Amino acid sequence: MRGKFSWKIIAPLMALLLLLPLLPLVRVDAASQATRDRLRDLQLQQEQARQDVREQQNLLEGTYAEMYGVMAQMQALDQQMADALAVLEAVDVSTLETEVRIADTMADLAAAHADLDLQNEVFRARLRAMYEAGPIGHVAILLQAENFLDFFMRLEYVAAIYNADRNRLARMQDAENRVSSTLEQLSREYNILGELHRRETAAYDEFRRLYAEREIWFNELAADAEQLEALVAILEAEAHAINVEFGLAQTQYRAEVAEADRRRRDELRRQQEAARAAELAEINWDGQFAWPIPARPPIAANISSPFGSRTSPITGRTEHHSGVDVPAPAGTRINAAADGIVRLAGWSGGYGLTVIIDHGNGYSTLYAHNSRNRVTQGERVTRGQHIADVGTTGMSTGNHLHFEIRRNGVAIDPLPFFR
């Protein structure tokens, strides 16, 4: 039969139920207000420190990127200066070659002028002699011919002299003209080379000016980067110091919370023990146990596996058997060994369907491998009450009751209680 309703049992339970919703609040406010305020302030400082470091790092990265850009410009200008110098060197070589050619051409022109002047002087001298001799000179030469053939030969000779003089003068004039034309062409080339030299020199000077500007710019950026690196190092050191301080504060906070949790658990345990004591105060247990299966008295013939060391029928290994096994047909009635409160009525791992009854004074009994449980957790039972039926649930090789007596949670040999 069930025990009668008692306010002595219900009152502590009601107090415990009313207290449970407040337990999370106790945890939230477990640490001191000063510690929580310090943590909150340090968290804000951490975020600000991280933001400051990020900002300065972004500025530093931007400065690095700008330095790389200026360096690329300097490299390009350096290449342009090298190209301009190469052009200037080529122009200087071409100019020198042109000057040599001009000098040679001028010497050729002077020689041509001298030859032409000499030929002109010879031609003029011959003309003067012909003028002074008159036409009779040539006629005399012709008239001195001995015969008609000699006449024609003398005529051809006179014509040849005349034509040779004219051809020689023409060739000399052509040579002078060619040399003069070559000199004009070389002069034009010389002027072009001079203009190219001036232009490339101006470009080279401009490249050097731009390079000097970029060099100054790069040095300024390098100085800025050095300052930013120092500032980032300072900010990182400050952030690290804040993190260390935050870690210390967090450790203190956790310690305070852990201490508060410990006090809360201790208080909860005291309340549970008080409620349990209040429950068990209504139980008039005299310290005696009744055998749970009256149909199978506690004699050796009815015990298939006693308390203590044995070879497991499941694993075949030596193990400690924490109770006694009582074989019985499936469905055999199992009774409560004494008055108490049901602490467990359900599945319990290898035990299968199990019932555990708390009898007070540190004693409890366990009934395992049941085919059916007939009580519920929290229910008050009396000695001899039908609480379960024999079965073979869990790790079992056949229908039987596994029965334990526990003192302060430790299983002890139950048979001495029944002799």
Confirm whether 111 is domain-assigned.
Answer: yes
Q: 274 pairs with which residues across the strands? A: none
**Count of the separate structural domains present in the chain:** 2
How far apart CA 208 and CA 206 sit, in angstroms, is: 5
> 119 and 256, same structural domain?
yes
Regarding predicted confidence, which is higher, 127 or 106? 106
> 333 and 267, same structural domain?
no
Give Cα separations from 56 to 59, 64, 225 (angstroms).
5, 12, 10
Average pLDDT over the chain, rounded to an integer: 83
pLDDT of residue 175: 72
How far apart CA 369 and CA 395 sit, in angstroms, is: 8
How far apart CA 352 and CA 368 sit, in angstroms, is: 6
pLDDT tens-place string over residues 201-247:
888 899 889 999 989 999 999 999 999 999 999 999 999 999 998 89
> 308 and 270, same structural domain?
no
pLDDT of residue 17: 43
Confirm whether 291 is domain-assigned.
Answer: no
Taking residues 319-337, report their average pLDDT.
96
Confirm whether 287 is domain-assigned.
Answer: no
> 340 and 395, same structural domain?
yes
Burial of 49 (0-12, 13-18, 19+ CB in 10 A): buried
Confirm whether 293 is domain-assigned.
Answer: no
Confirm whether 2 is domain-assigned.
Answer: no
> 157 and 95, same structural domain?
yes
**Count of beta carbons in the 10 Å neighbourhood of residue 345:** 22
pLDDT of residue 13: 44
> 327 and 248, same structural domain?
no
> 317 and 255, same structural domain?
no
Last residue of a domain, one of 256, 282, 308: 282
> 315 and 173, same structural domain?
no
Confirm whether 150 is domain-assigned.
Answer: yes
Last residue of a domain, one of 253, 282, 311: 282
Dihedral (C-alpha) 178, 184, 186, 188: value to the nearest 10 degrees? -150
How far apart CA 113 and CA 182 sit, in angstroms, is: 15
Confirm whether 292 is domain-assigned.
Answer: no
With a CB cutoff of 8 Å and minimum separation 6, the contacts of 361 are 280, 285, 287
First to last CA, the chain: 27
Confirm whether 177 is domain-assigned.
Answer: yes
Q: What is the DSSP string of 51-84?
A: HHHHHHHHHHHHHHHHHHHHHHHHHHHHHHHHHH
> 52 and 155, same structural domain?
yes
> 306 and 254, same structural domain?
no
Q: What is the CATH number of the domain that holds 309?
A: 2.70.70.10
Q: Which domain holds residue 343?
A: 300-418
Residue recorded with tokens 């002077």 = 110
> 77 and 12, same structural domain?
yes
Q: What is the CATH number of the domain that holds 99?
A: 1.10.287
Return the beta strands (E) in 211-349 as ranges.
308-311, 318-321, 324-327, 333-335, 340-347
> 254 and 344, same structural domain?
no
Regarding predicted confidence, which is higher, 410 or 194? 410
Retrieve residue 172's tokens.
Answer: 């000399």
Strands 340-347, 400-407: pairing is unpaired
